[in-house]
Amino acid sequence: MPAQGGTLSSWDDDPVLTVEHLTMRFGGLVAVNDLSFNVGRGDITALIGPNGAGKTTVFNCVTGFYKPTEGRIVMRHGRNVPESLIASVTNSGEQHHHEDGSGVFLLERMPDFMISRRAKVARTFQNIRLFAGMTVLENLLVAQHNPLMVASNFTIGGLIGLPGYKKSRAESIDKAVYWMEQVRLIDRADDPAGDLPYGAQRRLEIARAMCTDPHLLCLDEPAAGLNPRESAELNELLQFIRQKHGTSILLIEHDMGVVMQISDHIVVLDYGEKISDGDAEFVRNDPKVIAAYLGVEDEEEVEEVLEEDAALAAGKSVGEAPGEDSPERPLGTTQTDVTGDESGPVPKSAELDPIPPAAAASAAALGEPADGPAADAAQTPMAGALSTARDGRPDKLTRISGIGPVNEHKLNAHGIFHFDQIAAWTAEDVKQAESYLAFDGRIAREDWVGQARQLAAGEDTEFSRREDRKTSPRDPNGKGGAK
């Protein structure tokens, strides 16, 4: 993302890792779709997103566990590696190339062990993968297995005690001791790794990765399961690694406290696609990010959801369907107007909440006033409104681009349950619906009617196909009740 003033961001100016148009398919499932981003040299870059967004799949592609279906993953050794060198390696079919102190590694072409050994990319996992029966010291020595094997001439030198092997072994132990001190485990060097507390095991796993002298350290949810004190210690450790060792860090994390505090650069994924890319301040205020984490489909609904949550937290009933204990009231009225409760004016979001068509008749019987266009619209039932869905099976209106769960709920509350109802809307009906939803001109702009006609005819739209493929904890049933 370009910085203000048109200058390049630090991660674009001299990246250590570039992911270009990465796509990963598993049969018909697209886990990652056309993803591009940079990891700045010496930066802490966070890859975040809701569960199922494709974050770990990206890690697995970068570290060689998966071979991407499409795309290029470039690892650079040395500053300001010329693009001409990268293009030359790409066109030559080579996996990697060194020239004048610069190194280029095309990770999508390399086996996983070569990515670790030659490209100097190390990683940890969501689930701790220490050697539980080995001591803390032995876990760190295992990470240095490759240089030790070379120094021992692949075992023989170790057996006869060649000087080169002895020197390499001493250096390996020194490095292990150094990292045990940094992660505060030096007093437990001889304890089995499996006996350590959970937080200590997390730190040991990071120390083991650092014993490979990586240029890029990939951490998959390092703060998972940590308490606040342990999370603070993790922050200090990552800052130390970045500042003292110059190691670039790419992490996946759900702890937003950790992410926002230490990240120089944040990339946000949702359903395998990048929806935001920038620094912490930019991402924190990006409506697309807020929408993804709240589970709504349109960023314009974010403010409504936040207002409704605030109202519910204050003990107000917002957008609640009328029932025995919840008298129906029209838009633009207060609780006192309908129930006599002196709770004062309802929040703005409640004033915009729709009510079922029957509420108009109820309001008229109560003699309620109607102020403003939304209140005026509330007195007239929506065209073609039904008291309930046909056969008790409503269509999934969120298959129409622009209708998220909040708007679907509002439309259902007004008796709109099916695609053919929306498909039959006239220009006047659209204007009335926009008054209900407080969407000036948006329904026509997004062509809800045209999409509904196509869906009512049994045809899919590009958006509905994408919606039907979604399988995440926020939408576990995929298509839901859609026909």
* Strands (E) located in 59-189: 70-77, 96-99, 102-106, 121-123
What's the rounded Cα separation, in Å, for the pair 137 and 396?
57
Structure tokens that stand for 293 in this block: 């984490």
The b-or-e profile of 394-416 (16+ CB within 10 A means b, else e) is bbbbbbbbbbbbbbbebbbbbbb
Q: What is the pLDDT of residue 4?
A: 45
- Residue 388 pLDDT exceeds 70: yes
Distance of CA 446 to the CA centre of its chain: 26
- Residue 134 pLDDT exceeds 80: yes
Q: What is the pLDDT of residues 150-201, one digit of tens each?
A: 777 777 776 777 788 788 888 999 999 999 999 999 999 999 999 999 999 9
CB 436 within 8 A of CB 354: yes
- Mean pLDDT, range 272-284, rounded to an integer: 90
Residue 324 banded pLDDT, cuts 50, 70, 90? very low
Residue 287 banded pLDDT, cuts 50, 70, 90? confident
> CA distances (Å), 331 to each of 25, 96, 343, 432, in order?
48, 66, 17, 14
CB 361 within 8 A of CB 407: no
Q: What is the pLDDT of residues 108-126, one digit of tens each?
A: 999 999 999 999 999 998 8
Q: What is the pLDDT of residue 330?
A: 39
- Residue 477 pLDDT exceeds 50: no
- Mean pLDDT, range 76-99, rounded to an integer: 89
Amino acid identity for residue 323 in this structure: G
Helix (H) or strand (E) holding 23: strand 15-26
Amino acid identity for residue 232 in this structure: A
Share of the chain above pLDDT 90, in %: 42
Q: List the chain domain ranges.
A: 1-120+213-294, 132-205, 320-469
Q: What is the pLDDT of residue 434?
A: 79
Q: What is the pLDDT of residue 115?
A: 94
Q: What is the pLDDT of residue 464?
A: 85
CB 283 within 8 A of CB 30: no
Please give the residue that has the higher pLDDT: either 56 or 472.
Answer: 56
CB 297 within 8 A of CB 291: yes
Helix (H) or strand (E) holding 276: strand 273-278
Considering the domain delimited by 1-120+213-294, tell me its CATH architecture. 3-Layer(aba) Sandwich (3.40)
In 3-state terms, what secondary structure has residue 275? strand
Distance of CA 318 to the CA centre of its chain: 29
What's the rounded Cα separation, in Å, for the pair 276 and 259?
15
Interstrand relation of 216-220 and 121-123 (parallel, antiparallel or unpaired): parallel
Which of 323-327, 373-377, 443-447 has the weakest average pLDDT? 323-327
Q: What average pLDDT does the chain have?
A: 79
Please give the residue that has the higher pLDDT: either 373 or 212.
Answer: 212
Which residues lie below 8 Å from residue 58, measured CB to CB, with a gap of 6+?
A: 19, 22, 24, 32, 35, 47, 269
